[in-house]
């Protein structure tokens, strides 16, 4: 450090390195501000701490070439900081307070600085804004952080706009007033009591100001139950709190010295709010939050968006039906991150932020006055689906429990949203029963997917992923000491520094910041985008009513499972063992990456190529394995790869026989799923099945696919064996497909279940699920139903308050299981029976269901 630079801080300075002194002063004042924010719940203090830490980081990144600028700028930075620390008194010469603070001289220095920050927080908003702008200019313009990724040593571009923070009362006052007004008072006679009008808060890249007020745009449904009309409101909240006093900072004029004539308003009482939003004004209604009241302004504003009636669409749903361009993804991610930071320490965080709570409203677009309007969704216009909760704090901000890897649920929620946007695919997470387990599992999943290159497709922006990782790697206790781990302002600062600033920088460098709100509508005609460098997988049918009905059919099974799982701790119930003989499974797929699911796969054996690690080159095995796990979540899964694809199946006879031996003897499987078939009998396979039945004394259940060749071929082998349950394909209504083999008039009645348009996992190179049809799909579902029934009966047998016949154990045999499936089936004619668990369990309590299954097993 040069002598000239040292003298630049003025006479009376000590011999310490001036740059080190500046960094130490920034750190000490930041620590005091964080502590003050935690004690007083003071948003300003948290923001101050964040800005000071950013300034310190800028100093740490400075090199020798920047010394001339530092010589001019750092003294001014310290002078302003000294003034804040002793506010409202005149600063002492040579930054005496900061030097005492940095050198730990004087026991009362910390308290004096604390009082100075507290006093400064009560000064006028304009003065506070000016100081923050100076801090930001210092960090962003004077000490530019190096960017090693720019060619030719070119410096990083400056951010186009400063991100502005507003006082905490702005968000809190708006939330409190709307919470009281959103209760619907015109439906008090309804049986459910008071309901709330649905509310959508527009998320923007930048909030606007109107006459000293912050403007918020919101939509309210005209009725809690009906969405035939959305009323557009613009709500103004004063920047100046009622008790704030204006204090001059330096030579700056008082910005509020000239008061405007008050606007004409009328008070809207909570019981009058219904009438306000029910009226179709065809304009934006302007209201002002004032003294805990809502005042409607005299003038309205023109509508900017022509929002269509009907429900809004969640981000999760949008990622399923639409394809977002890279610009859409980047802009949406920035707007969500910016809004998340803006509202972080406010009541607007009381309800969780996720891809289920980020919504989009359809807009009516008319290209020509003679054309019919079309409906469009825009990625640059997200909304937050507000839930005005009765009790605050529903969304945990910090987890203090033992054994937690990552303690910040809100930060994790933001990371998952950004992960979903970047990958163009919603993330499915499981409930592990506790906040601690969910935090650990979801953090592990998010970090793994962020680091996984091939699932990002052409959205190849390393800095975007680094922003997510920076947030996922955040640990305040390692940065500032464990005493302030629970400080919400520190987390808000982390969002700003680790996520928001890098995203804004990236948006500007890519040229996406200009005309951010001018964007083409989302293309929902192609579905989610595919990964460009991976061969196209089998085409998935367009989302249609058949696929939706199939998903609902599977959801009904989930409801049945949840009902019975509540009856008894599953830890005391043995898991049924299901062996799946197929093309393997891709453990890198999205379905299997969900925490807890991969652990359910307890065994793997490759009889096709001796791979020690799970693999699936075809997708069929992954599809069937995931289906069984969906239908029977408590089952333990064992996968045997018996062929690489359909073409190699004809040469897989010995592999199949070996797999049957493995399933019967090593795995001790209760159920064996065989979603394949041969035109003629294969003796080696027959022998393996017979051997398994004999050695297991009949206590093993084989299921196999009947055929997909319709009347052109009889029932395939091994489905036509007496020791195997043959399964046919139906749709969700039980109609048997014409691709099933003909029913043998001299043979037994046939069983079928859902196998048409069933979505499930595929290879990891495919975004989302793939819908497939056929008796092989129905066989997987039937195997899942068999495992589901065993679990349900095991729960009943573990319940000491219930008497169940010992003959129920016959359910573990082919005959007992087939009889039980027949009992829960509907006769569809032509001696064909449709297995319908929902139809069987509907209207039955647990005791009746157990009795019916037990009775069927004994026949």
**Which residues are identified as catalytic?**
582, 620, 776
Inter-axis angle of helices 125-137 and 43-60, nearest 10: 20
Q: How far apart are CA 113 and CA 101, in angstroms?
A: 9
Q: How far apart are CA 825 and CA 827, in angstroms?
A: 7
The DSSP 8-state label assigned to residue 736 in this structure reads B
Q: How far apart are CA 668 and CA 691, in angstroms?
A: 13
Inter-axis angle of helices 326-342 and 501-509, nearest 10: 150
Q: How far is CA 740 from the centre of its chain?
A: 40
197 three-state secondary structure: coil
Is 125 exposed, middle or buried, given 0-12, 13-18 or 19+ CB atoms closer than 10 A? buried
Q: How far apart are CA 6 and CA 18, in angstroms?
A: 6
Give how far Cα 210 sits from Cα of 204, 257, 308, Å.
Answer: 16, 17, 27
The DSSP 8-state label assigned to residue 165 in this structure reads -
Strand partners, 230: 221
Buried b (16+ CB within 10 A) or exposed e, 353-383: bbbebbbbbbbeeeeeeeeeeeebbbbbbbb
The number of CA neighbours under 13 Å toward the Cβ of 310 is 12
Q: How far apart are CA 94 and CA 9, in angstroms?
A: 8
Give how far Cα 36 sits from Cα of 77, 81, 346, 741, Å.
Answer: 21, 16, 17, 76
How is residue 31 written in tokens?
């620590």
Pinpoint the alpha helices (H) of 251-299.
273-278
Largest CA-CA distance found in the chain, in angstroms, rounded: 110
Q: Classify strands 724-730 and 701-705 as parallel, antiparallel or unpaired.
A: parallel
Is the distance from CB of 169 to CB of 176 less than 8 angstroms? no
**H/E stretch holding 77:** helix 67-85
Is the distance from CB of 689 to CB of 661 less than 8 angstroms? no
Q: How far apart are CA 578 and CA 858, in angstroms?
A: 23
DSSP codes joined into one string, 472-498: HT--HHHHH-GGGTT-HHHHHHHIIII
Residue 210 φ then ψ, to 5°: -135, 110
HEC-encoded secondary structure of 120-138: HHCCCHHHHHHHHHHHHHH
With tokens 């949008």, the residue in question is 318
How is residue 685 written in tokens?
């396979």
Is the distance from CB of 31 to CB of 53 less than 8 angstroms? no
Is 485 exposed, middle or buried, given 0-12, 13-18 or 19+ CB atoms closer than 10 A? middle
């Amino acid at each position: 450090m040069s002598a000239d630079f040292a003298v630049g801080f003025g006479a009376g300075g000590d011999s310490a390195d001036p740059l080190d002194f500046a960094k130490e002063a920034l750190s000490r004042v930041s620590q005091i501000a964080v502590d003050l924010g935690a004690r007083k719940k003071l948003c300003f203090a948290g923001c101050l701490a964040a800005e000071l830490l950013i300034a310190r980081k800028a100093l740490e990144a400075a090199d020798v070439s920047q010394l001339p600028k530092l010589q001019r700028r750092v003294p001014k930075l310290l002078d302003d900081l000294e003034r804040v620390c002793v506010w409202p008194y005149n600063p002492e010469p040579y930054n005496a307070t900061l030097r005492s603070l940095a050198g730990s001289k004087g026991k009362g220095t910390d308290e004096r600085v604390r009082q100075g920050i507290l006093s400064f927080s009560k000064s006028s908003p304009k003065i506070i804004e000016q100081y923050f702008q100076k801090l930001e200019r210092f960090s962003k313009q004077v000490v530019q952080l190096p960017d090693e990724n720019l060619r030719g040593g070119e410096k990083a571009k400056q951010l186009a706009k400063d991100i502005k923070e507003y006082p905490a009362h702005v968000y809190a006052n708006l939330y409190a007033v709307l919470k009281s007004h959103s209760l619907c008072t015109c439906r008090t006679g309804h049986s459910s009591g008071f309901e709330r009008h649905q509310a959508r808060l527009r998320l923007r890249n930048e909030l606007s100001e109107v006459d000293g007020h912050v403007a918020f745009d919101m939509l309210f449904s005209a009725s809690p139950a009906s969405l035939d009309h959305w009323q557009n409101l613009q709500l103004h909240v004063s920047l100046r709190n009622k008790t704030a006093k204006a204090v001059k900072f330096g030579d700056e004029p008082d910005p509020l010295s000239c008061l405007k004539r008050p606007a004409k308003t009328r008070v809207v009482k909570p019981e009058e709010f219904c009438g306000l939003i029910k009226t179709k004004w065809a304009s934006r209604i302007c209201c002002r939050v004032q003294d805990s009241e809502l005042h409607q302004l005299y003038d309205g504003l023109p509508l900017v968006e022509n929002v269509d009636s009907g429900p809004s669409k969640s981000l999760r749903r949008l990622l399923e039906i639409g394809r977002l361009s890279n610009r859409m993804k980047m802009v949406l991610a920035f707007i969500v991150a910016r809004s998340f930071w803006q509202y972080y320490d406010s009541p607007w965080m009381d309800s969780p932020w996720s891809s289920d709570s980020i919504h989009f409203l359809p807009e009516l677009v008319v290209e020509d006055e003679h054309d019919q309007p079309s409906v469009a969704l825009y990625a640059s216009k997200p909304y937050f689906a507000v839930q005005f909760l009765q009790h605050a704090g529903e969304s945990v901000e910090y987890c203090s429990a033992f054994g937690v890897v990552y303690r910040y649920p809100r930060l994790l929620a933001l990371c998952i949203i950004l992960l979903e946007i970047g990958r163009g695919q919603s993330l499915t997470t499981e409930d592990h029963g506790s906040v601690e387990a969910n935090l650990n599992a979801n953090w592990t999943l998010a970090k793994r997917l962020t680091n996984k290159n091939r699932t990002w497709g052409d959205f190849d922006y390393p800095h975007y992923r680094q922003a997510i990782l920076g947030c996922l790697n955040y640990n305040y206790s390692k940065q500032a000491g464990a005493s302030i781990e629970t400080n919400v302002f520190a987390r808000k600062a982390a969002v700003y520094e680790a996520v928001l600033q890098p995203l804004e920088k990236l948006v500007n460098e890519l040229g996406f910041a200009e005309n951010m709100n001018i964007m083409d509508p989302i293309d929902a005609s192609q579905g989610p985008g595919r990964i460009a460098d991976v061969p196209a997988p089998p085409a998935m049918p367009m989302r249609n009513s058949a696929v939706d009905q199939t998903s609902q059919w599977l959801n009904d099974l989930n409801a049945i499972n949840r009902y019975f799982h509540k009856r008894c701790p599953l830890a005391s119930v043995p898991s049924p063992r299901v062996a799946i003989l197929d093309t393997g499974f891709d453990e890198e797929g999205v379905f299997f990456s969900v925490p807890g699911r991969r652990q359910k796969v307890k065994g793997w054996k490759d009889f096709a190529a001796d791979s020690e690690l799970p693999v699936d080159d075809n997708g069929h095995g992954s599809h069937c394995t995931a289906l069984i796990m969906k239908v029977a979540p408590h089952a333990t899964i064992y996968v045997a790869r018996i062929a690489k694809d359909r073409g190699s199946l004809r040469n897989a006879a010995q592999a199949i026989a070996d797999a049957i031996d493995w399933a019967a003897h090593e795995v001790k499987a209760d159920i064996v799923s065989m979603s394949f078939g041969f035109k003629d009998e294969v003796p080696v396979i027959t022998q393996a099945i017979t051997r398994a039945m004999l050695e297991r004394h009949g206590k093993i259940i084989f299921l196999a696919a009947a055929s997909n060749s319709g009347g052109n071929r009889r029932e395939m082998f091994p489905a036509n064996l007496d020791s195997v349950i043959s399964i046919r394909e139906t749709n969700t209504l039980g109609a048997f497909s014409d691709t099933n083999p003909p029913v043998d008039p001299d043979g037994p009645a046939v069983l079928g279940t859902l196998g048409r348009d069933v979505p499930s996992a595929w290879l990891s190179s495919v975004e989302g699920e793939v819908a497939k049809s056929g008796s092989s799909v129905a066989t997987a579902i039937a195997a899942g139903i068999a495992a589901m029934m065993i679990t349900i009966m095991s729960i009943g047998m573990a319940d000491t308050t219930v008497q169940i016949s010992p003959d129920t154990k016959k359910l573990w045999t082919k005959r007992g299981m087939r009889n039980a499936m027949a009992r829960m089936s509907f006769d569809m004619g032509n001696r064909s029976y449709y297995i319908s668990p929902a139809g069987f369990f509907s209207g039955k309590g647990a005791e009746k269901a157990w009795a019916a299954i037990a009775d069927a097993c004994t026949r």
